[in-house]
Chain A
Amino acid sequence: QVHLVESGGGVVQPGRSLTLSCAASGFTFSSFGMHWVRQAPGKGLEWVAIISLDGRNKNYADSVRGRFTISRDNSQNIFYLQMNSLRTEDTAVYYCAREEGFVIKNFDYWGQGTLVTVSS
């Protein structure tokens, strides 16, 4: 049974850093690309970042490029989102999601989400 569990959310001041983790289980983690998607309070879904199955290829939404870094550890079945220079507009529930199809880019499993609040 596939499980994705995020952790690391919390309250942080603007300009500070925070690292989110997503622990995966129930599937061969190293065979899937992984994504972060966020949702600001009362707003829609916003894609944040992608990392390829081997970790070599990454890309980011323009809103976070240069501030956020996605990484993964296939030996530990976990991937991360390091968030630097946080802004109030980064306040959101952050979901990790598994990319089922490399071409289709559909997210067949999602975590339960972890809330990040950026506030002074």
Chain B
Amino acid sequence: QSVLTQPPSVSAAPRQRVTISCSGSGSNIGSNAVNWYQQLPGKAPILLIYFDNRLPSGVSDRFSASKSGTSASLAISGLQSEDEADYYCAAWDDSLNGVVFGGGTKLNVL
């Protein structure tokens, strides 16, 4: 059972827009930055979004994110087949004194 809650999977057609939710609590999302990671099959994760909604250099602006209270969400617009991956939210948890991850969401591009 992950500290942050994500849907196990989401699906959408190419060129559509999809959102992935991430729910936490006051000790993690409610108090600290949310970061998102993309993990392509068989690969190490890569940083997709940091500090709630900032894009690292080189990341497509088709990716965006937001946070409100103890929840966050990742949006991907103009879906492409190469976006098929697992997506994880993460945040520091002040109670656990460690990083907590969501369980991951598998994105299927139909």
Contact = CB atoms under 8 A, between A and B. Distances in A.
B35 interface: yes
Most B Cβ at <10 Å: residue of A37, A50, A113: A37
Most B Cβ at <10 Å: residue of A45, A59, A61, A103: A45
Contacts of A103: 33
Interface stretch (A15-23, A24-32, A80-88, A104-112): A104-112
Interface string B85-110: 01010111000111111111000000
B86 to A, nearest CB: 8
B100 A47 contact: yes
Interface in A50-68: 50, 59-62
A27 B55 CA distance: 21
Contacts of B100: 47
Interface of B: 2, 32-33, 35, 37, 39, 44-47, 50-51, 56, 86, 88, 90-92, 96-104
